[in-house]
Structure 1
Amino acid sequence: MDEPPIPVIRLGDTGEVAAALPHLLGFRPAESLVLVSLRGPGGSRVGLTVRADLPPPYAAASLARTLATKVVTDDPAAVLLAVVSEAPDVGALPVPPADDGSLEAWPELPHRDVVHEVVLALDARDVPVREALLVRGGRWWDYDCPYPCCAPGAGTPVPDGDSPLAAAAVAGGAVLAADRAALAARIVAPDGPAAAAMADACLSAGRAHAQRLRARGIAAVAAEGDAAVAGAAAACRPGPDTAGTRLPDAQVAAVLWALTVPAVRDRALALALGDDAAAAEVLWTECTRRAPVPLDGAPATLLAVSAWLRGDGAMANVALERAISADPDAHLPQLLAEGLDNCLPPADLRALITRTVAACW
């Protein structure tokens, strides 16, 4: 199966990148340090984006080295650094005495110590920092700009409207969340009567699953599970026939129990590689959200793969946290979390999944 085309987005002006940061991350960052890999001729193409919470001063050097290690996996020609923070200007820089002998001072942009540590960490890897930005209150500053537009009290407005970077993210299937907590909220389990009804459906489906295993064996049950997954994915395909429809609890429960068979789960990975990739992500999202623990582990793992292949590392991380919480000893989500933490490119993950699926048939 061919990898879907990835839009080639060229770096425009600095304000455009500042405006596109939420789309590059999948959510609106707050109090964050963001590194954007710049690739291609002259470092004009936006590549891997990594983010972390802004650290306390004592941890700045360690975090800078960690993020530098991650972003250089993309083999960047240069890196754009962005600090997203609502912190006010801090400190004061003394200047030569005025005519009357007094010292004048002016405020300084916040988090310059973090910027300095990132520049050092990337310089140690022979990767230059193209620009270092502060994004705050709908405006942006260049830490290295000496002109009045970047004075602490000034700044340049972040452009309104959709940039090519934002448009490409939306075309790739990204849905912008207000913050990282909003990403997690997409797969929060319901409570009340809905949760009770889903639990009852899972108990009933579990009894039927166990009976089929005893009566027919694992191979027959796996084949039925493959069919259940395929049917549910088809019901989630975008289009007028499925718009606004909700999978019945019994159908979700059947998929959840089917995914407890490792071969079914591994073959289900193939859905993220083909024409039903969007439908699969809808299915895994719905199954993860509605599944009781520990049945949520397998669909959360599959959701992480779908999001990762789409380039949405933030959603992949949220889904893997859910999968590991469901079963801390599960091997596959731990491996995926390690790969994501080490910035394994989606293309490499795609190749790995292709080999895994081929071994399941």
Structure 2
Amino acid sequence: MTDPLPNTTHRSLQDLLGAVPYLLRYHPGDEIVAVYLGADRRILAVAAEPIRFSAETLSEHLVLRAPAEPCAQVAVIGYGPPTMRPTLARMGRIIDLFLPLHTLLWVTGPRCVCLLDGCSCAAGRGMDIDPATSPVAAQLTVDGVVALPSRQALTTLIAPDLVAQAETETALAALAADVTVTGLLDDVLATAKKGQRLSPGQVAPLALALTHRDALETAWSVVCACMWQRDLWLDVARRVPDRYVAGPATLAAWCAWRRDEHALAIVACKRAIHQGPGDRLTRLVTSVVRAHMPAHRLRRSTPH
């Protein structure tokens, strides 16, 4: 079982713009965001791409990432300087061939402009916006959803915790030479599912175990999109010494990808391969993430 996207319905452009940072988990900048909408005006999913590709490539990525649930319309929002406006306009024409376009917005600073020809919406001639005052943003904040200040800030979620790394190093030194990992993964998952943080005595043998292909692939096979697994693998990746980070960072990337948190998945992949090319599973996960393949294309679904 996975954690669903917060049940969010938009009633206005302010609602739509207010929800975006909280559903992405960060405030976008110099990016194109697609908000996929159901027939009941419910937000089904969001996806974002940095503006570093052509309009055709960006459109392809965002169309492919449309959710498996029937999508009635898509809102396309560009965040950035005036130079992005032609790219955004071309993307609107391309995406509308595949998914009905709800709106096409350009946001620069506190100003929002609708780029749809002949549109009579509130942003048709431009309007001032303050997403933080949106009732939807307020409700998502109450629900515990956090929006980091930027995409770059996602790196803090998996950055090394030097104090915790030292604690794990001490625990690793104390491990018996014949330490067994039988039942270790079940114990770790049971602890994390209850909302408890792993002790250094659990992190140390787990770090060691995940350097072995069989153990890493076993852990990978049970990774789901639940928030508690996201917290677990990000936490372990921060706490293990750098020479052990490839395994847990790979699992953190896979979990983030399954949750459609593509920006976080990319950051986790970078951490996983930082120490070298890594295991074949690390390379596979990195390839899937960088290919922008959507998680709903995954045939298997692990109940948890």
- Scaled by the length of structure 1, the TM-score of the pair is 0.68
2:58 equivalent in structure 1: 64
1:156 equivalent in structure 2: 128
Describe the shift of the 1:169–1:129 C-alpha distance in structure 2 as closer, same or farther (beyond 3 A). farther
Q: Confirm or deny: 8 A CA contact 2:34 2:75 kept in the other structure.
A: yes
Which has the higher relative contact order, 1 or 2, with Cα contacts under 8 A spaced 6 or more apart? 2
Distance 2:16 2:121 in 1: 21
1:99 equivalent in structure 2: none
Identity %: 24
- For 2:76, the aligned partner's letter is L
The Cα shift of 1:25 comes to 1.2
1:293 equivalent in structure 2: 242
The Cα shift of 1:323 comes to 1.8
Note the 1:112-261 alignment, pairs <5 A: 112-123=85-96, 125-144=97-116, 150=123, 154-161=126-133, 163-164=135-136, 167=139, 174-191=145-162, 195-205=165-175, 208=176, 211-212=177-178, 221-223=180-182, 226-227=183-184, 229-236=185-192, 242=196, 247-248=199-200, 250-261=201-212
2:75 equivalent in structure 1: 80
**Which of 248, 257, 261 pairs up with 1:312?**
261
Gaps in structure 1 of 5+ consecutive residues: 91-109, 214-220
Q: Confirm or deny: 8 A CA contact 2:233 2:248 kept in the other structure.
A: yes
Partner secondary structure for residue 12 of structure 1: coil
Distance 1:333 1:158 in 2: 41
Distance 1:269 1:148 in 2: 47
Describe the shift of the 1:341–1:41 C-alpha distance in structure 2 as closer, same or farther (beyond 3 A). farther
Q: Confirm or deny: 8 A CA contact 2:10 2:16 kept in the other structure.
A: yes
The Cα shift of 1:260 comes to 2.4
Distance 2:2 2:170 in 1: 40
Distance 1:64 1:5 in 2: 25
The Cα shift of 1:263 comes to 3.4
2:302 equivalent in structure 1: 354
1:37 equivalent in structure 2: 36
- For 2:61, the aligned partner's letter is L
Distance 1:128 1:148 in 2: 17
Partner secondary structure for residue 20 of structure 2: helix
Distance 1:190 1:49 in 2: 30
Q: Confirm or deny: 8 A CA contact 1:134 1:143 kept in the other structure.
A: yes
How many aligned positions are there?
Answer: 302
Partner secondary structure for residue 302 of structure 2: helix
2:219 equivalent in structure 1: 268
Gaps in structure 2 of 5+ consecutive residues: none
Confirm whether residue 333 of structure 1 aligns to residue 282 of structure 2: yes
2:13 equivalent in structure 1: 14
Distance 2:92 2:108 in 1: 20
Distance 2:253 2:283 in 1: 12
Partner secondary structure for residue 273 of structure 2: helix
Distance 1:278 1:156 in 2: 35
Per-residue Cα deviation, 1:170-227 (whole angstroms, up to 9, x for no partner): 85x7532121222111211134x6645544543554xx4xx428xxxxxxx441xx32
Q: Confirm or deny: 8 A CA contact 2:55 2:88 kept in the other structure.
A: no
Describe the shift of the 1:235–1:7 C-alpha distance in structure 2 as closer, same or farther (beyond 3 A). closer
Partner secondary structure for residue 119 of structure 1: helix
Per-residue Cα deviation, 1:249-287 (whole angstroms, up to 9, x for no partner): x4321111122233333333466449xx44433332221
Q: Confirm or deny: 8 A CA contact 1:135 1:141 kept in the other structure.
A: yes
The Cα shift of 1:340 comes to 3.6
Instruction: Tell me which moved more, 112-121 or 20-29.
Output: 112-121
Distance 2:141 2:293 in 1: 19
Q: Confirm or deny: 8 A CA contact 2:262 2:289 kept in the other structure.
A: yes
- For 2:102, the aligned partner's letter is R
Distance 2:181 2:121 in 1: 67
Describe the shift of the 1:121–1:146 C-alpha distance in structure 2 as closer, same or farther (beyond 3 A). closer
Describe the shift of the 1:5–1:129 C-alpha distance in structure 2 as closer, same or farther (beyond 3 A). closer
- For 1:77, the aligned partner's letter is A
